[in-house]
A = this chain, B = another copy of it.
Amino acid sequence: MKIVGLGPGNEALITPEASNALSEATDVVGYVPYVERVAPRPGLTRHGSDNREEIRRAEQALEMAAAGRRVAVVSSGDPGVFAMGAAVFEALEAGEPAWRALDIQVLPGVSAMLAASARLGAPLGHDFCCINLSDNLKPWALIEKRLRLAAEADFAMAFYNPRSRSRPEGFARALDVLREACGLDRPIMFARAVSTPEERLRVVTLGEATPEMADMRTLVMVGSSLTRRIPAGREGSEWVYTPRSVLSSEVDR
């Protein structure tokens, strides 16, 4: 069984390793819009399922692999970053002992975080953290604690799942915590549907940011205290980058 990262959306960002795995699969398993990124062909069955069904989906994939099918479990971006990788290993640990004998490979992909960072410059060019802002699977108090500690550590930050339809208030609270911890002038970046025709990039300050700037297809990044905004070639556009160096005099400033 292969757990395959499809990259952020553009075909040119799918690794040859992942493309080969998809071309050899008999069954592709995943969230509906990701399964639909794999073109139909004779001999391939596509099993699309709903967003919140990760564990059931992982079990289905393991069952089919145990029955001798060549299964590709697909995730957008990289399968190890808030995607199907962890779900498959959770199902493996809790499931049939025979599943442990399966040949499982995880094929990495370009994550949304790295693709968004590339389009904006190099905002994650120094130490950073990556936090899933959805409180479906963890208490809000933990998210808030991590945001405060990440700000204290002066990490650049990348946020997945900033804003769900069912819990729109979470991201507004996250912005309040960040404004308090990082100040109003800190750059915040909204990168929606990166590398697709619907791509939209926006750089503002925390003081200017509003919850509506993000939806569930948006990767949000916040700079460290050293992150810089510089004008780019095109009129009105800019680059954002975090320098590689921190001087002693800049610590605890």
Contact = CB atoms under 8 A, between A and B. Distances in A.
A85 B122 contact: yes
Contacts of A245: 137-138
Interface of A: 5, 7, 10-17, 20, 54, 78-82, 85-90, 92-93, 100-104, 106-111, 114-115, 117-119, 121-132, 137-139, 141-142, 145-146, 149-150, 152-155, 228, 230-233, 239, 241-248, 251
Contact of A104 (B102, B138, B228, B233): B233
Given A85-B121, A127-B132, 6 more contacts: A11-B16, A16-B16, A100-B233, A104-B233, A106-B118, A108-B110
B244 A86 contact: yes
Number of copies: 2
Binding site of A, secondary structure by majority: helix, strand, loop or mixed? mixed
Contact of A80 (B10, B80, B114, B142): B114
Contact of A233 (B7, B101, B153): B101
A171 to B, nearest CB: 16
Contact of A15 (B15, B90, B150, B247): B15
Contacts of A128: 129-130
Contact of A110 (B15, B87, B89, B244): B15
Contacts of A121: 85, 89, 106
B122 A80 contact: yes
B15 A12 contact: yes
B124 A127 contact: no
For the complex of A and B, the 4 pairs showing the least CB-CB separation, nearest first, are A86-B125, A85-B122, A89-B241, A129-B129
